Amino acid sequence: MTQPEIVRYGELKPCRTAFIDAHTPGSEQKENFTIIGAGVAESPDQHVHIKATPGFNIGAAGQPPKCVNSLHFHNTAEVFFVLSGKWRFFWGVDGDAGEVILQEGDIFNIPTRVFRGFENVGTDYGMIMAILGGDDSGGGVIWAPQVLETAQAHGLILSEAGVLYDTKKGQTLPTGEQPITKLSSTQLADIAEIPVHKVVPDYVARYWDMMALAKNKPCQVIGEAALIKDKPGFEVELLTRGSIATDAYINPQHEVLMVMRGHWRLTWQDNEAVLNPGDTCWIPPNLAHALKVCVTGEASLYRISGTGDTAGLTWQDN
């Protein structure tokens, strides 16, 4: 039987050339991580830790203070929770339609087809963990036109095939391959500009609110009837000490455990492993397993389960 696979936080392999803004001043120090699935990286240098295809992708972004991830959008879900640091998320074609500050443990299900960017506004290197809808993430990343223009001025060209070429390294587009076409003014006019009073209550959940709700049972964070109502092809729960079952359970879907706080003992068959903050664990379908908090103190983890729903645009509860 297939066994769980664990990616330790300290063993994550970063890529600094994963995206088109890798040379852009203010963004050149960001690090991207592809933990489970193909992800959306545009560079062959991106390391993939676990090549499972659970119907969603798991990744991460690490950035020093004042480092910015440029404006882009996706056609499937992009969910972030803050593992460490303090982060400003902003959105809109020009990045000025709204913004929200997220602290450690907070989670944000950013609506699809809305330009978004994020910046580490803390005092130390920070890490945000990501869940992307679909095995192919809906066609990758769609960049704001100004991002492509700035990147080209700094030597990077993205092809229509989604491959990044660095002219500073002497790379050129292959014969017959064209640079990606920027969105037109007509296309930009169709991109939603969602006001902040709509985004924050509908798409953001705060860590300590979720911890209170998870006191006796798992807090349903993202799902059809959860705090954040969406059907992105996966569901998200927050678990803490009092909300875990003592007996082993079987999940018929792919399951991913992402530890926020504390140390958790995972057992299956005659095996066990301790999961630590920042660790990510993929559990194959139909494998009996159990969780237990190892030590006293604050303990929390996000549990992501596939649902079989088609990954696509943000679901509207009508």
- Quick: pLDDT tens for 300-312: 999 999 998 999 9
Write down all domains in the chain, each with its CATH number in brackets: 5-204 (2.60.120.10), 207-306 (2.60.120.10)
- Quick: pLDDT tens for 291-300: 999 999 999 9
Residue 42 predicted with pLDDT over 80: no
Q: 32, 19 in Cβ contact below 8 A?
A: yes
Percent of the residues in the chain that have a pLDDT greater than 70, as a whole number: 97
Confidence of residue 255 (pLDDT cuts 50, 70, 90): very high
Sign for the CA dihedral angle at 191, 32, 154, 123 comes to positive
Q: Vertex 254, ends 249 and 256: CA angle to 5°?
A: 85
- Quick: pLDDT tens for 150-199: 988 988 888 888 888 888 888 888 888 888 889 999 999 888 788 888 88
**Contacts for 104 with CB less than 8 Å, ≥ 6 apart:** 82, 83, 84, 85, 86, 207, 260
Nearest CA to 264 out of 241, 243, 230, 284 is that of: 241
DSSP output for 119-160? EE-SSS-EEEEEEEESSSGGGS-EE-HHHHHHHHHTTEEEBT
Separation of alpha carbons 100 and 119, rounded Å: 11
Element (H, E) at 265: strand 264-268
Residue 317 predicted with pLDDT over 80: no
Three-class SS state of 291: strand
Q: Which residue in the block uniquely carries the two structure tokens 């989670």?
A: 107
Separation of alpha carbons 81 and 238, rounded Å: 11
Separation of alpha carbons 125 and 121, rounded Å: 10
How many residues in the chain? 318
Q: 20, 147 in Cβ contact below 8 A?
A: yes
What is the pLDDT averaged over residues 144-154?
91
pLDDT at 1: 55
Q: 282, 54 in Cβ contact below 8 A?
A: yes
Which carries the bigger pLDDT value, residue 47 or residue 204? 204
Nearest CA to 42 out of 65, 23, 64 is that of: 23
Separation of alpha carbons 243 and 217, rounded Å: 4
**First and final CA of the chain: distance in angstroms?**
42
Q: 97, 194 in Cβ contact below 8 A?
A: yes
Confidence of residue 285 (pLDDT cuts 50, 70, 90): very high
DSSP classification of residue 207: H
Token digits of residue 49: 């830790």
pLDDT at 318: 39
Sign for the CA dihedral angle at 46, 47, 49, 55 comes to positive
